[in-house]
Amino acid sequence: MHTVYDFHALQFNDEKKSLQDYSGKVLLIVNTASQCYFTKQFKNLEKLYQRYKDQGLEILAFPSNDFRGQEPMTGHRLETFCRIQQQVTFPVFRRIHVIGEYCDPLYSFLSDIKQNGKVNKKPLWNFHKYLVNKNGEVVDFFYSTTNPTAQRVMTKIEQLLAE
């Protein structure tokens, strides 16, 4: 069975980042967009990150333009939006496809039970969240409508951090 550690992500400087670098951490992987109703979740994702990062949580953001063109930015403009306007300090990667014919291999894995063994849910919209344990296994997901600082999200993260 594969884990998220078998994949990589493209950073804004065009370097490949192996997800193996996050081995031993709890991951919350989120597809984001700058012009979405849920864009305000960046603030709570950052709060969540600040609360748990020293305990081993990593949030990985993957901008995507797959839902009604709500992420028109790419490259430096997109990075600036995330870092300066939204003030996020967690890793944000280059824009990818999270559904459809050109779906990034990581998102194919995250959303397909045949590949990940547990979760069978493609993102229905921006800010869909996948929760990954310290072994790189997909263990849960949260819909876009679930606030990152909702008690059930934090409880699940705390359980995984304690394992």
The residues annotated as belonging to the active site are 36
If we measure between CA atoms, which residue out of 4, 61, 11, 9 comes closest to residue 36? 61
C-beta separation of 143 from 128 below 8 A: yes
The rounded distance, in Å, linking the Cα atoms of 156 and 79 is: 29
Partner residues linked to 132 by β-bridges: 27, 138
